[in-house]
Amino acid sequence: MLAKGMCADLGPHGIQVNGIGPGYFDTELTAALVADEEFSAWVRGRTPAGRWGRVEDLVGALLYLASPASDFVNGQLLYVDGGMLSVL
């Protein structure tokens, strides 16, 4: 909702506001969760991609939103979650 609200306010000034909604990613901050086999199995089982996200998985979304290809995209949240939100 933040991106949509800011889009409404800032869009008329030529400013785009979008966001990325990451799923479960294997990072230093989530290392304990990844190491917890029960929780890690739950993540893999609930995610259609069947795995934890890698930071590299975010690159395409970031490049797209930063490129001219997204010039007419505004107020959106791009989910990079391996499909998890689709099955919750």
pLDDT in tens, 22-69: 999 999 999 999 999 999 999 999 999 999 999 999 999 999 999 999
Looking at the predicted structure, is the pLDDT value of residue 88 above 90?
Answer: no
Per-domain boundaries in the chain: 2-83
Domain 2-83 has CATH 3.40.50.720: yes
Run of H or E residues at 21: strand 19-22
Q: 71-86: per-residue pLDDT in tens?
A: 999 999 999 999 999 9
Burial 62-75 (b: 16+ CB within 10 A, else e): eeebeeeebeeebb
Tell me the CA end-to-end span of the chain in Å, nearest whole number: 19
